Amino acid sequence: MALVTIWILAVAAAVIFRHVARLTTNLKLSVWLSDGRTAIYFITYIVWGILLRRHVVVRTVKRWLSAIVFLMLFWMIVRTVKFRLPNTSVWGRYLWYSYYLPMIFIPLFCLYTSLHIRKSEDYRLPLWSVFAAGVSTALFVLVMTNDVHQAVFSFGEETFWSDDQYHYSWGYYIVMIWVAVCMCMTLLFMMRGAKVPHSKKRKLLPFVPILLIGIYAISYIAKIQALRLIAGDMTSVICQLVMISITCCMWSGLIPVNTGYEQFFNGSTLNAQIRRNDASILASSHNSSLLSEQMVRQAMQTGCCTEKNIRVKAGAIKGGFVVWQEDISLLNTLLESLQKSEKELEVSNALLKAENEIEEKQAKIAAQTQLYDRIEADMKKTIQQIASELLEKKENTAREQLFKISVIGTYMKRRCNLLFLGQKNDQILLDELLFCIRESVDNMKWAGIDGDVFCTKEGKVPFLLVLQMYDCFEQIIELFLKTMETIFVRISTDNGNLTLRIMIAQRLEKNNGQPVMIEQVQSAFDENTRYKVIMEEDEWIIHVEKSVSKSQSSDQGRR
């Protein structure tokens, strides 16, 4: 309120200075009074601009309002310099034309200000605002080039062009209409963006100075002598009314400002205080609690201080700190509940871990049992074959029985080993088949059968394929045990196929053996096995081939 009083007194003094300067005959006094009046207006606009910078909240709004203040100061400077020059001066006339820079752009900047109200600081002006700036620029250029076309001010046939003898032309009215449109759009956007409850009268308050600007402009254009006598300084009148209008927008809430924050802070539900740097209280909310100085100072130093169910926090602000208190009793209760739940989870996890270990052991035992059952089922026929050999009582067959049992026993041992390997991995090394066949061939040497095994490839192959190929090999050699003299085996792989090439030389006179029929050899192969049997006198060449895909499909069918 004190600032309003000072402003009224300053404006009154400026008006008195103007009228005294017009009436006095003392030229020096008149100049002093005119300069004093200009200084009063300058100080008024500067102080008002500083207040805008301090109280307007939105940064972009603050920038546009600051631009308006600079235009008002520019207008006052141009006006002061212009009246120091003769009326017939060309420079004086162009200074008069330059009045229309603030006259056109102050309404435009007011429009831009209204667009930024209630918007974020990242808000971008709409595209049509560029068009508005273009129109304003074009109109200002139209005024500044008036000497060329006289479309704004017409001087007729006057020898000396000045602002004393002129007539308004069509361009002047376009400028005034554009100024009026910008001011009306400004008020429209401000009213639309206003969020001030129960303030209809306040929202209408900015219309009063705008209406006065319109009445003054019409009266000035009409060249009413009484008005020009009382308020003939158009620059001062328009600038003062614009300042009043913007101030009314701030007071009514159309332009957000930071006044009334102290009352808002005191009446808020926050449990907070604003303290100076020495920890003394500057402002306190209604719900703030009494805090110990020790906790407050510790919070100001470290940012936080906790004691039982109370947490005090502090944040640095300009000139001091904001200190607030938080009730963390619920948080502590939740923390205790979480700690209790954590202990329960640890016990549950320990039980689950023990259960999982038991289940793993049981699964391992079940897998081993299943493997043993499979071995027993697979070896049942072989064991029965060994038993039948032992029960047979033939003359001069003890050595033959022992040899056959040894071959079958080697097969049982190596086949069980393959089953154990297949339990761990679906793919095993091809060398495992080489080891199996080599041990079987080496075991036959003590019976006088020479042989050897070769493997031309390395790598991994499906376990089931190795098992099937070893079974096939065993069936073939059991057919030739009595008459076999030599055996050579070659193992190879090609494009996912496993191949055995068995070459057997036999002597029928050996042990009074019976010849092996080709049908007997063919019975050793299943339908998924590709084979080729070549027999030349006492020599056999048996080519056996199995593919990966067929072995897997046969395994799935068997399972």
Could you read off the pLDDT of 5-20 as tens digits, one per residue?
888 888 888 778 777 7
The architecture (CATH level 2) of 2-259 comes to Up-down Bundle (1.20)
Task: Write down the pLDDT at residue 555.
Answer: 44
What pLDDT score was predicted for residue 556? 39
Range of lowest pLDDT (75-79, 96-100, 139-143, 503-507): 503-507
Average pLDDT, the chain: 79
Round to whole Å and give the CA distance between 203 and 185: 15
Query: Rounded to an integer, what distance in angstroms lies between the CA atom of residue 244 and that of residue 45?
Result: 11
CB-CB contact of 501 with 489 (8 Å): yes
- For the chain, give every domain's residue range: 2-259, 263-327, 400-558
Is the pLDDT at 122 greater than 80, yes or no?
A: no
pLDDT value, residue 397: 62
Backbone angles phi, psi at 496, to 5 degrees: 80, 5
Which of 184, 235, 234 has the alpha carbon at shortest distance from 211? 184
Higher pLDDT, 99 or 514: 99
- Using alpha carbons, list the distances in angstroms from residue 415 to 317, 404, 440, 488: 84, 16, 11, 20
DSSP run (H or E) holding 403: helix 398-424
φ and ψ of 130, to 5 deg: -65, -40
Identify the band that residue 130 occupies on the pLDDT scale cut at 50, 70 and 90: very high
Looking at residue 164, its pLDDT comes to: 64
CATH superfamily of 400-558: Histidine kinase-like ATPase, C-terminal domain (3.30.565.10)
pTM: 0.53
Interior angle at CA 95, CA 89 and CA 96, nearest 5? 90
Would you say 212 and 17 are in contact if contact means Cβ atoms under 8 Å apart?
no
Contact in structure between 29 and 62 (CB atoms under 8 Å): no
Residue 368 has a CB neighbour count (10 Å cut-off) of 12
CA neighbor of 527 nearest in space, from 557, 492, 494, 500: 557
Would the CATH topology of 2-259 be identical to that of 400-558?
A: no
Distance CA 401, CA 389 (A): 6
**Which comes out higher in pLDDT, residue 267 or 113?**
113
Residue holding tokens 């496993």? 498
Please give the helix or strand (H or E) that residue 488 lies within, else none.
Answer: strand 484-494
Return d(Cα 273, Cα 280) in angstroms, integer. Answer: 10
Among 214-218, 287-291, 494-498, which stretch is predicted with the lowest mean pLDDT? 287-291
Smallest CA-to-CA distance from 516 within 462, 467, 547, 479 is with 479
pLDDT tens, 178-198? 999 998 898 888 877 666 554
The Cα–Cα gap between 81 and 83 comes to: 6
Whole-number Å distance between alpha carbons of 242 and 234 = 12
- Written as six digits, the tokens of 352 are 């689950």
Per-residue pLDDT band for 389 (boundaries 50, 70, 90) equals low
**For residue 247, is pLDDT > 90?**
no
Residue 505's nearest CA partner among 534, 469, 530, 474 is 534
The model's confidence at residue 379, banded by pLDDT at 50, 70 and 90, is low
Mean pLDDT of 280-290: 72
∠ at Cα 382 (377, 383), nearest 5°? 85
Average of per-residue pLDDT across 44-59: 87
Tokens describing residue 468: 């099937």
Q: What tokens does 272 get? A: 């907070």
